[in-house]
Amino acid sequence: MAHEHATAELVRDPGFVPPPALEPMIERLAARRSAPLRNLGGPALTEEELDLLFRLALRVPDHGRLVPWRFIVIEGEARAALGARLDQLYARQNPDLPAAKADMWTLYLMRAPLTVVVVSRPDPAAKVPEWNQQLSAGAAGMALTVAASALGLASQWLLKWPGRDREAAALAGVEAGETVAGFIHIGRPTVDSPDRPRPDATSVVSRWQPAEV
Ligand SMILES: Cc1cc2nc3c(=O)[nH]c(=O)nc-3n(C[C@H](O)[C@H](O)[C@H](O)COP(=O)(O)O)c2cc1C
């Protein structure tokens, strides 16, 4: 499996053999990747899984403890109800939309049992720069994907039109002054999704040295 391969590479390259207690976590992190929406299945998450998912997801660095993010859960029947509202808005914005696409956003939300809208809500009046607050929201999205992986779930982080369009985001409950950081779709993996090429560490990691004088 690609997953074993990822770990093997990780262990071999630095010549580092982790203590056995750390191995499961390293394996999870080394194998974490998105799954296409078509590979997310049910059954829906239990209340206990949801509770654990969010307890893990909110362990996020947060300058000034402002909690500059929040999560909106879309699951069960809410998926079709929000999908229908998004379809109506999309049809209004795109009068020439072919009939075959009339329910595309309903189908989009129905694909995964759970979608979490990660909302960035920086406080412009706070002393903490807005950039720091926005980064914390991005970190919340990443923490959510890692938490999903830890629970054996698969996820995909998308923005697409509902995440970018202010009116669409408002239908999902996003308020003035807030921005969507991601629609994170979560479900049970139906198949093992292929990995994508990853950057080589040497292309993104450099070691600082003092400039020569
Ligand atoms: C903030 C953010 C927004 C994204 N929005 C989209 C999107 O709208 N459409 C898309 O095809 N992929 C989007 N992606 C990329 C997908 O999540 C993609 O599956 C992912 O980057 C694959 O990487 P991974 O396997 O490391 O998770 C987005 C990623 C991020 C971080």
pLDDT at residue 16 in the model: 80
pLDDT interval class at 7 (50, 70, 90): very low
Candidates 77, 35, 51; CA nearest to 185 is: 35
CA 163 centroid distance within chain: 12
Q: Give me the residue spans of the domains in the chain.
A: 1-31, 34-192
CB 118 within 8 A of CB 184: yes
This prediction has a pTM of 0.93
Q: Tell me, which fold does domain 34-192 have in CATH? A: NADH Oxidase (3.40.109)
Distance 140 CA to ligand 1 centre (A): 15
The residue nearest atom 12 of ligand 1, judged by CA position, is 158
Distance 213 CA to ligand 1 centre (A): 43
Q: Which residues contact 72 (CB under 8 A, 6 or more apart)?
A: 116, 117, 119, 172, 173, 174
Distance 45 CA to ligand 1 centre (A): 22
Looking from the CA of residue 164, the nearest atom of ligand 1 is 8
Using CB distances shorter than 6 Å, the residues near ligand 1 are 33-34, 156-160, 182, 196
Question: Are 190 and 41 in contact, with CB atoms under 8 Å apart?
Answer: yes
Give the distance (Å) from ligand 1 centre to CA of residue 119: 16
Kindly tell me if the per-residue pLDDT of 10 is higher than 70: no
- At 48-93, the pLDDT tens digits run 999 999 999 999 999 999 999 999 999 999 999 999 999 999 999 9
Phi/psi class of residue 64: alpha, beta or left (left: φ > 0; alpha: ψ in -120 to 50)? left
